[in-house]
């Protein structure tokens, strides 16, 4: 409508009918193609097709699994702990001192706030209820 006002002429009704029909055809064709190509979303943010294949490692039956003793489990635990500790990104000495200073200053600041509030509330309570001494 805005284009026709700029040009100074009114479009014919036939032009709108042709546009509507071509638009409806295009929308109908796209709707059929989209349904077949896209996986069904179950409301999550990511859509990924689930594969219906058997897992490569099937769990073994209880008779096939050898029981590991307490010492074997402890050794495996410590090996896993060491493996995880190797993945940690350790801070440098400078970073460690900086982080420690920040924590100490923050704790001292919070201690001062709590001590001030405690002192203030104690004075208010003594003023309201009177000093018993």
What gap in Å lies between CA 100 and CA 68, rounded to an integer?
Answer: 43
pLDDT attached to residue 38: 56
Confirm whether 115 is domain-assigned. Answer: no
Contact, 10 vs 4, CB < 8 A?
Answer: yes
Q: Which distant-in-sequence residues (6+ apart) come within 8 Å of 47 by Cβ?
A: 38, 39, 41
CA torsion 30→35→40→44, rounded to 10°?
10
pTM over 0.85: no
Question: 31 in helix, strand or coil?
Answer: helix
The alpha carbon of residue 112 and the mean position of all alpha carbons in its chain are separated, in whole angstroms, by 36
Residue 15 near residue 7 (C-beta atoms within 8 A): no
Q: Which domain holds residue 30?
A: 8-37
Question: For 89-108, what is each residue's pLDDT tens digit?
Answer: 999 999 999 999 999 999 99
Is position 18 within any domain?
A: yes
- Name the maximum alpha-carbon separation found in the chain: 101
Q: Does some domain include residue 32?
A: yes
Domain assignment present for residue 25? The answer is yes
Tell me how crowded residue 28 is: count the other CB atoms within 10 A of its CB: 9
How far apart, in whole angstroms, are the C-alpha atoms of residue 38 and residue 34?
6
Residue 17 confidence (pLDDT): 59
Is 20 a member of any domain?
A: yes
Q: Does a structural domain hold residue 47?
A: no
Percent of the chain with pLDDT over 70: 50
The tens digit of pLDDT for each residue in 36-53 reads 555 555 555 555 555 565
Q: Is residue 13 part of a domain?
A: yes
């Amino acid at each position: 409508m805005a284009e026709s006002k700029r040009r100074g002429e009114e479009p014919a009704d036939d032009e709108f009918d042709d546009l509507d029909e071509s638009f409806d055809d295009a929308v109908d064709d796209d709707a059929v193609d989209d349904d077949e190509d896209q996986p069904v979303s179950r409301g999550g943010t990511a859509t990924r097709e689930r594969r219906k294949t058997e897992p490569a490692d099937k769990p073994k039956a209880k008779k096939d699994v050898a029981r590991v003793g307490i010492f074997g489990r402890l050794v495996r635990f410590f090996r896993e702990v060491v493996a995880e500790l190797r993945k940690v990104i350790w801070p440098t000495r400078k970073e460690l001192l900086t982080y420690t200073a920040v924590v100490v200053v923050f704790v001292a600041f919070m201690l001062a706030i709590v001590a001030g509030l405690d002192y203030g509330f104690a004075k208010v309570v003594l003023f309201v209820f009177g000093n018993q001494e």
